[in-house]
């Protein structure tokens, strides 16, 4: 009886290994939790081709915007963990949304972090010609004027509320579904300033950086202070590849190896240079460790804004 059980188990393991060895056998869906046209979508369109080349199949980008990335992330987290649905998005909202929203039906642990690829350039931006050209001027102008700000909901909204509370001012937040929607709002004068995931860097002198929301100042805006300097808070701006948590170790390893190859693909390198996002490789275990390290700081902002 025991011998038969061991034989059955061995056959099952062999079949599972064989199935994973054949992966992928069909196209893979790459979920982007933002509207088309933003920096995440721009990166994903090029990266998907490089990833597909490394894996030997097509990787098809599918945008699922809404809820500050919550809609797309929920879809990815609840997908069948067979490696045929993966996601490219920002680590910040993947951590933030489950911690702050009762309507979000996933936890970070429902997603397996595969690889960190690049760094967003999170910032508070405006257009030239406003009565303010620096962050202190923005705060001072708010003291006597009602201003509105475009944000992506969730993470960016609460960070902006945290800053407003520190300065004893109030901004009316206008939700957008990613950079692709934020840009026309800002350039069209529908909002006074905005949170940007980095798409502002594609628009040159049409937008100015008032403050970095990253741990340090942005390379292209060295004179703009960071929120870390001003308030001791910052966003982890990592663009990451992930999969449903139940995906096998073998498939996860294949995806990580393919992501490493895609990172150095000439076309992906060029698109990162064009949008001026730095490469920032983190393997799966390093990425999970980093997520664990930055989560307490995020909880600090949550506690202060409840």
Residue 20: other Cβ atoms inside 10 A: 18
pLDDT of residue 9: 42
Per-residue pLDDT at 179: 85
Q: How far apart are CA 274 and CA 283, in angstroms?
A: 24
Does residue 102 have a pLDDT over 90? no
Q: Based on the domain organization, do 244 and 226 belong to the same domain?
A: no
Q: Which domain holds residue 161?
A: 123-231
Final residue in a domain of this structure, among 178, 203, 231: 231
What is the number of domains present in the chain?
A: 2
Among the ranges given (39-48, 207-216, 263-272, 290-299), the one the predictor scored with the smallest mean pLDDT: 290-299
Among 185, 205, 231, which residue terminates a domain?
Answer: 231
The pLDDT-based confidence of 198 (bands split at 50, 70, 90) is: confident
**Quick one: pLDDT at residue 20?**
58
pLDDT averaged over every residue in the chain? 90
Claim to verify: residue 66 and residue 87 sit in the same structural domain: yes
Q: How far apart are CA 186 and CA 194, in angstroms?
A: 7
pTM of the predicted model as reported, rounded to 2 decimal places? 0.78
Cα–Cα dist 94/106, whole Å:
9
Tokens for 74, please give them. 């929920």
Domain edge (last residue) among 205, 231, 257: 231
- The whole-angstrom separation of Cα 247 and Cα 63 is 21
39-43, 49-53, 108-112: least confidently modelled range: 39-43
CA gap 7, 118 in Å, rounded = 46
**pLDDT tens by residue, 249-304:** 999 999 999 999 999 999 999 999 998 899 999 999 999 999 998 898 888 888 88
CATH number of the CATH domain containing 161: 3.40.190.10
Same domain, 24 and 99: yes
What are φ and ψ of residue 260, in 5° steps? -65, -40
């Amino acid at each position: 009886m025991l011998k038969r059980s061991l034989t059955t188990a061995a056959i099952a393991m062999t079949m599972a290994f064989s199935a994973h060895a054949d992966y992928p056998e069909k196209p893979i869906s790459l979920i982007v939790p933002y509207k088309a046209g933003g920096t995440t979508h721009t990166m994903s369109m090029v990266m998907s081709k490089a990833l597909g080349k490394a894996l030997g199949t097509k990787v098809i980008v599918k945008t699922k915007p809404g809820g500050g990335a919550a809609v797309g992330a929920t879809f990815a987290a609840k997908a069948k963990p067979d490696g045929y649905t993966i996601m490219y998005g920002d680590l910040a909202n993947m951590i933030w949304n489950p911690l702050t929203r009762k309507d979000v039906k996933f936890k970070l642990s429902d997603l397996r972090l595969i690889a960190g690829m690049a760094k967003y350039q999170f910032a508070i931006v405006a257009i030239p010609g406003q009565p303010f050209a620096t962050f202190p001027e923005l705060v001072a102008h708010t003291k006597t004027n009602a201003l509105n700000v475009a944000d992506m909901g969730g993470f960016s909204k609460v960070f902006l509320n945290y800053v407003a509370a520190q300065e004893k001012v109030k901004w009316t937040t206008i939700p957008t579904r990613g950079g692709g929607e934020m840009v026309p709002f800002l350039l069209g004068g529908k909002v006074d300033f905005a949170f940007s995931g980095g798409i502002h860097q594609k628009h040159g002198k049409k937008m100015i950086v008032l403050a970095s929301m990253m741990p340090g100042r942005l390379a292209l805006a060295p004179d703009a202070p960071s929120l870390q300097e001003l308030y001791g808070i910052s966003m982890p701006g990592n663009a990451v590849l992930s999969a449903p948590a139940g995906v096998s170790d073998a498939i996860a390893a294949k995806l990580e190896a393919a992501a490493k190859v895609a990172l150095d693909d000439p076309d992906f390198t060029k698109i990162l240079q064009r949008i001026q996002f730095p490469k920032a490789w983190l393997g799966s275990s390093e990425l999970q460790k980093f997520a664990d390290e930055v989560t307490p700081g995020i909880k600090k902002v949550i506690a202060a804004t409840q």
